[in-house]
Amino acid sequence: MYSQGLDQRDDAPRRVDDPAATAHDSALHARFDERVDAEEKIEPNDWMPDSYRRTLIRQISQHAHSEVIGMQPEGNWITRAPSLRRKAVLLAKVQDEAGHGLYLYAAAETLGVTREELVDQLLEGRAKYSSIFNYPTLTWADMGAIGWLVDGAAIMNQVPLCRCSYGPYARAMVRICKEESFHQRQGFEIMLTLSRGTAEQTAMAQDALDRWWWPALMMFGPHDSESTHSEQSMAWKIKRFSNDELRQKFVDATVPQAKFLGLRVPDDDLHYDDATGHYVFGEPDWSEFAAVLRGEGPCNAQRMAHRRRAHDEGRWVREAAEAHAAKHPRSGGTPVGPEAQQWANAGVRA
């Protein structure tokens, strides 16, 4: 989207023994660090270290893929929503996730990578997406649990990203977080309705909490001691809190909500520690997390097969959009070949 403006890349070949070049690089680095420390936003045309650019492309694109793949578990329930109101709300939520994917791909493109490259990485299994979307949605209560827990965890992780040092990502996150907050509330409202309903409905809500609690805690990523990127990403102010800090904040905020619902968090070790003012909680099953990341979760194969199929089925739309853009240069396309000749003959300037 904005990548045509990226004319100040850091990849021009330089001689390592050239003292002027080294001094120039150090000065650029120092200026970049100063700006990050001063809470200035780094913008697409600003100089940035290649490793900062690569980290952002990795994180933003994985985030975009997560939003898009994340449409599947809930999309599965649109036709089975229990009322027209529930259907309209769920439809709107799933559409929001598609929108989030698009803002995020656009933000990643400002770093000089194309959307096609990013989508190829996902389809070829070279890019990750969030572990959480590899679990099945078995009952309607899962729509409640996803909104409450998964979107709740997403907000906890993403609100600090609104202060990310990279401007386009930070700005995309402002809008995304507003929408995620609606998603969390609609999920909590489903859980509230079920937990105040019949014994069968309460049991459904409890079952959904039992199945989604631990995967929601895993969304925050590995322990800080195992996290490859946290330290550098925090120094660059991409991440503002570590994985463990955010997981703790999520538990502290969510356990009282579970109590309000009258549901039991499935963790025998869970208790409140008066001394620290935080909940102490048990250990997620990290071998399960590793298996999901290796593609061996309950729904990994299904999610990717569906995404590949949707991509193939959407080919005609992409081709039609390209053909339209070529015919309508004023809306961004450049006419080529006989089309351009025809326009030129008719006195229309491309």
Binding residues for ligand 3HC (CB under 6 A)? 58-59, 62-63, 66-67, 70, 97, 128, 130-131, 150-151, 154, 157-158, 218-222, 227-230, 233, 239, 243, 293
| 34: enclosing H helix or E strand | helix 19-37
CB of 229 to ligand 3HC, least distance (A): 3
Residue 293 exposed, middle or buried by CB count within 10 Å (0-12, 13-18, 19+): middle
Nearest-CA neighbor of 113 among 12, 29, 6, 13? 6
* Nearer of residues 121 and 157 to ligand 3HC, judged by Cβ: 157
Nearer to ligand 3HC, 177 or 203 (CB): 177
CA-CA distance, 143 to 149, in Å (whole number)?
Answer: 10
Cβ distance to ligand 3HC smaller for residue 234 or 325:
234
Least distance between ligand 3HC and beta carbon 186 (Å)? 12
Closest among 248, 251, 239 to 160, alpha carbons compared: 239
Q: Give the shortest CB-69-to-ligand 3HC separation in angstroms.
A: 9
How far is residue 126 CA from its own chain's centroid?
16
Tell me whether residue 32 or residue 103 sits nearer to ligand 3HC (CB atom): 103
Asked if residues 282 and 270 have their Cβ atoms less than 8 Å apart, the reply is yes
Residue whose C-beta lies closest to ligand 3HC: 221
Nearer to ligand 3HC, 48 or 104 (CB): 104
Query: Minimum Å distance from CB 166 to ligand 3HC?
Result: 12
- Residue 154 or 205: which CB sits closer to ligand 3HC? 154
* Cβ 132 to ligand 3HC shortest distance, Å: 6
Shortest separation between residue 321's beta carbon and ligand 3HC, angstroms: 25
Contacts of 96 (CB under 8 A, 6+ apart): 179, 182, 183
266 and 210 Cβ atoms separated by less than 8 Å: yes
Of 267, 66, 53, give the one whose Cα is nearest residue 151: 66
Buried b (16+ CB within 10 A) or exposed e, 14-45: eeeeeeeeeeeeeebeeebeebbeeeebbebe
Tokens of 92: 């709107």
CB 224 within 8 A of CB 126: no
Output b/e per residue, 79-112; b: 16+ Cβ within 10 A: eebeeeebeebbeebbebbeebbbbbbbbbbbbb
Cβ proximity to ligand 3HC, 47 vs 182, nearer residue: 182
Smallest gap from residue 230 Cβ to ligand 3HC (A): 5
Which C-beta is closer to ligand 3HC: that of 42 or that of 71?
A: 71
Count CB-CB contacts under 10 A for residue 116: 9
